[in-house]
Amino acid sequence: MSFPLPPNYSSVDKAVILGMGGSAIGGDLLRSLTLEKSKIPILVHRDYDLPALVNERTLVIASSYSGNTEETLSSFSQALKTPAKKLVITTGGRLKALADESSVPAFCFEYAAEPRAAFGYSFFSVLGLFQRLGIISIESRDIDETIRVLKEITARFNHDVPLETNPAKQLATKLWERLIIIYGAGILSKVAFRWKTQFNENSKTSAFSECFSELNHNAVVGYRFPEWLAEKGVVVMLRSPTLHPHILVRYEVTAELLTDAGIPHEVVNAKGESPLAQIMSSVLFGDYVSYYLALLNGVDPSPVAAIDYLKRRLAEVNI
C-alpha cells in the first residue's frame, strides 16, 4: 500500500487499537487472526481513557469511521501527550484534524455507508500496516483464497438467490422472532461478537455472544431457566474444522446439552482453508443473515435511531 510511515514505527513492542463499534471490530478480528503469529501483543481498547501501558515503544492506532467518535477522540487526545508512535484511520472529522495538527500519519478513505459496513477498511488497512511494519506476515495465497471464497459466498447468498437454495435466507427464517445467542471459538470468537452486533444494528433484534471453552464453564448450566428459552431461544455455533481437537469435542457435547434442554441450535461451518478466509467468510455469512432478518422484521437495516438519540443526549452534557 502507498502510505508513508516514519522508519521508527517498526520499533515497537506492543500495539493498541483505539475504536468503538464497527471501527473496532476490525482490530478484534485482526488480533484473533494474528494471536499465534504476531511478534508483539495487540490490544483493542474501547474507552475514554488511554491504557497506562502506552509508552514510547507502543504503536497507537486510532480507528473511527466518522472521525468523531467521542471515546476514540478522548483516548487519542491522551495518546498525543505520550511518546507513543501514532496512526489514524478515518474518513475525516475531528480525528483527522487532530492528526493533521500533530503531524500524525492519517490513512483516510472514502466510503459512504454506515460505519459497520466499512469493516473491510478498518480490518485490511490495519492488516496492511502491520504487514509493512513486519509485525505480522500474511501469505498472498491466503489473500487470493479469501477473495475467491467471498465471491463464492456472494453468489450463493445474494438477494436474487431464492430461499430454497440460499443458506443465509434459510438461517434468517430459523432465527426470526427468537432470542439469538452466537457461540464461537478461537479465530471465530470475535466473529461471533460481530454476528451479535450485526443482529443488534441491522436486524434491530436482541442477540448475545459467548466463547468456547469459557461458556462450558458457566453458560451451559443456565439452559434451564427461563423456561421459555427452549421455545424462544436459538443458539448458532460458528465452527472451524481447524480449531483445537478438544474444542471441537466441546462443540459436540454442547450440542448434546442444548438438545437435552430442548433449545434449537444451528452449526455454521467456516469456509476456506486459511484462517483469513475462514474469518472473512464467516463475517460475510453473518452480515447476509442479519440483512435478511431485518427484512423479516420489517425494518430498514441502515438507521440506528437509538444510537443517534444517545449521541444527541451526550452532546447536551458538558463535563
Annotated catalytic residue 311: yes
Annotated catalytic residue 110: no
Place of cell 472473512: 280
Annotated catalytic residue 266: no
- CA 292/CA 287 separation, integer angstroms: 9
Could you tell me the strand order of the sheet in which 106-108 lies?
42-45, 14-18, 58-64, 85-90, 106-108
Place of cell 430454497: 164
> 33-42 in b/e burial notation, b at 16+ Cβ within 10 A?
bbeeebebeb
Q: Which of 71, 145, 201, 210 is catalytic?
A: 201
Q: Which of 217, 227, 246, 252 is catalytic?
A: 217
- CA 214/CA 293 separation, integer angstroms: 28
Give me 145's grid cell: 483464497
Per the CB < 8 A criterion, the answer to whether 90 and 96 are in contact is: yes
Max Cα distance, the chain (Å):
60
**Which residues are tagged catalytic?**
201, 217, 311
